[in-house]
Amino acid sequence: MYSSTKYKSLLMFVTGLVCFQLYLGAAHAAKLWSTSDSYLGSGEFYGPGAFTAKQPLFEIELNNLSFFTDVNFVTPFVNNAGAEPNICGEKEFKGEVDGKLSNGIAVNENADICSAVIAGTHMLIGVVDGGPHQGQQYNVTMDDGNIVMTMDLALDLGIGEKGVIKLPFYGTTGSLEVPASLQTLKGEKNGVDQAGKFAAGTKLEGRIGDFNNDGWIDGTLVAVGHMPLDSPIYPGQPYAMHRNFETDIPIKGVLYGNVKGLIANKHVTLW
Partner 1 sequence: MSIRKPFLYQKLKSIVLFFSGFCSRVVLTILLPRFFLYFSCLISGAAFASYSMSFTGGTFYGPGKMPDVGMPNGHISVIELNENLLGETPFFNNGALKPNIGSSKNSDVWGSGVLSDGEQYNEYMDGGVVDVGNGALKLLSLVTRDGKKQGRQLYQLDKECNWEIKTDLAMDPGFEHGIIFAKDLVITTGIIWAPSSLQSQMKIPGGVDSAGSLPSGVPALGKVGDYDLDGKLDGTLVGAANIPVDHIFYPGAAVVQTRDFKTDIPLTSMDAAVFSILSAENYKYVFAKILKGKTQTPEQRKFYQDNMGIYLSDLRHRLLNSIRHLDRQKQKEDVSSLIVKISSMVKSLEKINQEEMRSVFESGQELKELLAQLGNISKTMKSSLSYQCS
DSSP string, 206-269: -EEE-TT-SSEEEEEEEEEEE--TT-SSSTT-EEEEEEEEEEEEETT-SSSS-HHHHHHHT---
Q: Which residue type is seen at 155?
A: L
108 CB-contact burial (10 Å; exposed 0-12 / middle 13-18 / buried 19+): buried
What is the closest distance, in whole angstroms, from the C-beta atom of residue 50 to partner 1 in the complex? 4
Q: Give me the half-sphere count of Cα atoms (radius 13 Å) on the Cβ side of residue 126.
A: 35
Q: Output the CA torsion 255→261→262→264 (10° steps).
A: 180
Count of beta carbons in the 10 Å neighbourhood of residue 107: 28
Helix H or strand E encompassing 31:
strand 30-34
Q: Is 190 in the site for partner 1 (CB under 8 A)?
A: yes
In the shown chain, the binding pattern of residues 93 to 132 toward partner 1, with x for contact by CB under 8 A and - for none, equals: --------------------------xxxx----------
Interface segment toward partner 1; rule CB under 8 A; list 66-74, 184-192, 210-218, 244-252? 184-192
Q: Is 196 in the site for partner 1 (CB under 8 A)?
A: no
DSSP string, 140-180: EE-TTS-EEEEEEEEEE-SSSGGGEEEEEEEEESSEEEPPP
What is the closest distance, in whole angstroms, from the C-beta atom of residue 121 to partner 1 in the complex? 5
Interface segment toward partner 1; rule CB under 8 A; list 81-89, 155-163, 195-203, 211-219? 155-163
Q: Is 228 in the site for partner 1 (CB under 8 A)?
A: no
Q: Is 237 in the site for partner 1 (CB under 8 A)?
A: yes
What is the closest distance, in whole angstroms, from the C-beta atom of residue 33 to partner 1 in the complex? 25
- Of residues 72, 166, 235, 258, which one binds partner 1 by CB under 8 A? 235
97 CB-contact burial (10 Å; exposed 0-12 / middle 13-18 / buried 19+): middle
Nearer to partner 1, 93 or 245 (CB): 93
- Of residues 163, 171, 179, 250, which one binds partner 1 by CB under 8 A? 163
Q: Is 180 in the site for partner 1 (CB under 8 A)?
A: no
Nearer to partner 1, 33 or 93 (CB): 93
Nearer to partner 1, 83 or 159 (CB): 159
Residues in touch with partner 1 (CB under 8 A): 48-53, 119-122, 157-159, 162-163, 181, 190-192, 232-237
